């Protein structure tokens, strides 16, 4: 794994929108794209400590896709030797709970949400259920308790809805309802990074001193210059590579399909 280099790697996927039967917008198969991510990572020598999937695991109305999605997550985890840590999005239903991997995690007591804490090496992952667009007061209280003591090299907070708005007018009101409250809470903890999705376009920001990385979608990206009052998607598959060290965090957007290179040359790779 990448820990040997002192740099921990998170493979950040979002908005899979898996379907049961007809493919999304005719050509898009979210589950097949999960398989493609696994092959891409292997070919590129990416060795993540964790695979994070930030919601909208299925397309709305396709609840029957969850079993196949669970198999795809297991295959991806086995191929890359890393756990899959997923949270629900606004397209998901209560049936998602069976594949979220709550066993062995610190789960919010008496809660029907998917909130849980998972430790992976020196990283703590706080996974939050924002499927209804917000976080309830009891969720924030629970998170505050979980993060009362620092852990390892810090905590990565994961949820579907970003805690700040998109620059696109069509998405400006689609952020987390309690975004400011969440970020103020995190400013007093060991939180290193917030990972989110939902917008179908990558975005990076810092709020209350905590970096926020909004991952692109695995199935389509927002067309940023769509006509006002409309939304459009271009069908490109993207994900993020996130790196965490004791002193830095970074996120890079990666296209699943790349154009032919202009050139290829060998370089010396530091040990």
**CATH number of the domain that 187 lies in?**
3.60.21.10
φ, ψ (nearest 5 deg) of residue 73: -65, -45
Residue 260 included in any domain: no
Interval 206-232 mean pLDDT: 83
Q: Which of 216, 186, 222 is nearest to 203 (CA)?
A: 216
Give the structural domain span for 223: 2-255
Structural contact between residues 219 and 17, judged by C-beta atoms closer than 8 angstroms: yes
> Is 267 a domain residue?
no
Residue 166 lies in a domain: yes
What's the pLDDT score for residue 99?
A: 73
In a domain, 246, yes or no: yes
| 123 contacts: CB under 8 Å, gap ≥ 6 | 8, 10, 49, 50, 152, 153, 154, 155, 156, 244
Q: Is 153 inside any structural domain? A: yes
**Residue 227's pLDDT band (boundaries 50, 70, 90)?**
low
Token pair in block for residue 147: 């993060």
CA-based nearest residue to 14, from 161, 217, 164, 194: 217
Q: Which of 78-92, 133-147, 211-225 has the lowest mean pLDDT?
A: 211-225
To the question of pTM greater than 0.75 for the whole model, the response is yes
In 3D, which of 195, 196, 153 has the Cα closest to residue 174?
A: 196
When pLDDT is averaged across residues 52-66 and rounded to a whole number, the result is: 92
State how far the Cα of 62 lies from the Cα of 52, in Å rounded to an integer. 21
- Which of 24 and 213 is assigned the larger pLDDT? 213
User: Within a domain: residue 150?
Assistant: yes
Q: Looking at the predicted structure, is the pLDDT value of residue 64 above 50?
A: yes
Confidence of residue 236 (pLDDT cuts 50, 70, 90): confident
**Which pLDDT tens digit goes with each residue over 148-201?**
999 999 999 999 999 999 988 777 788 999 999 999 999 999 999 999 999 999
Q: Answer yes or no: is 163 within a domain.
A: yes
Q: What percent of the chain is modeled with pLDDT above 70?
A: 89
CA distance 175 to 161: 6
CA distance 226 to 204: 21
pLDDT for 94? 84
Kindly indicate the confidence band of residue 131, based on its pLDDT and cuts at 50, 70 and 90: very high
- Mind listing the pLDDT tens digit for each residue in 31-40? 999 999 999 9
Question: What's the total number of domains in the chain?
Answer: 1
User: Residue 110's pLDDT band (boundaries 50, 70, 90)?
Assistant: very low
- Please report whether residue 263 resides in a domain: no
């Amino acid at each position: 794994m990448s820990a040997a280099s002192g740099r921990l790697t998170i493979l950040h996927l979002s908005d899979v929108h898996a379907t049961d039967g007809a493919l999304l917008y005719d050509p898009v198969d979210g589950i097949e794209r999960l398989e493609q991510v696994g092959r891409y990572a292997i070919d590129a020598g990416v060795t993540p400590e964790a695979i994070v999937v930030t919601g909208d695991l299925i397309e709305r109305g396709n609840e029957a896709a969850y079993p196949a999605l669970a198999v795809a997550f297991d295959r991806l985890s086995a191929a890359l030797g890393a756990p899959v840590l997923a949270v629900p999005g606004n397209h998901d239903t209560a049936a998602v709970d069976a594949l979220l991997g709550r066993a062995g995690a610190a789960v919010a007591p008496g809660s029907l949400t998917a909130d849980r804490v998972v430790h992976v090496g020196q990283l703590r992952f706080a996974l939050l259920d924002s499927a209804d667009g917000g976080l309830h007061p009891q969720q924030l209280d629970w998170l505050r308790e979980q993060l009362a003591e620092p852990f390892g090299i810090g905590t990565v907070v994961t949820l579907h809805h970003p805690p700040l708005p998109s620059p696109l007018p069509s998405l400006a009101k689609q952020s987390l309802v309690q975004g400011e409250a969440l970020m103020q809470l995190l400013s007093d903890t060991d939180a290193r990074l917030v990972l989110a999705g939902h917008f179908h376009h990558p975005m990076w920001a810092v709020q209350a001193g905590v970096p926020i990385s909004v991952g692109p979608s695995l199935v389509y990206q927002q067309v940023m210059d769509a006509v006002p009052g409309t939304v459009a998607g271009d069908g490109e598959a993207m994900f993020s590579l996130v790196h965490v060290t004791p002193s830095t965090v970074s996120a890079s957007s990666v296209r699943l399909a790349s154009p032919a290179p202009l050139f290829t040359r060998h370089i010396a790779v530091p040990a």
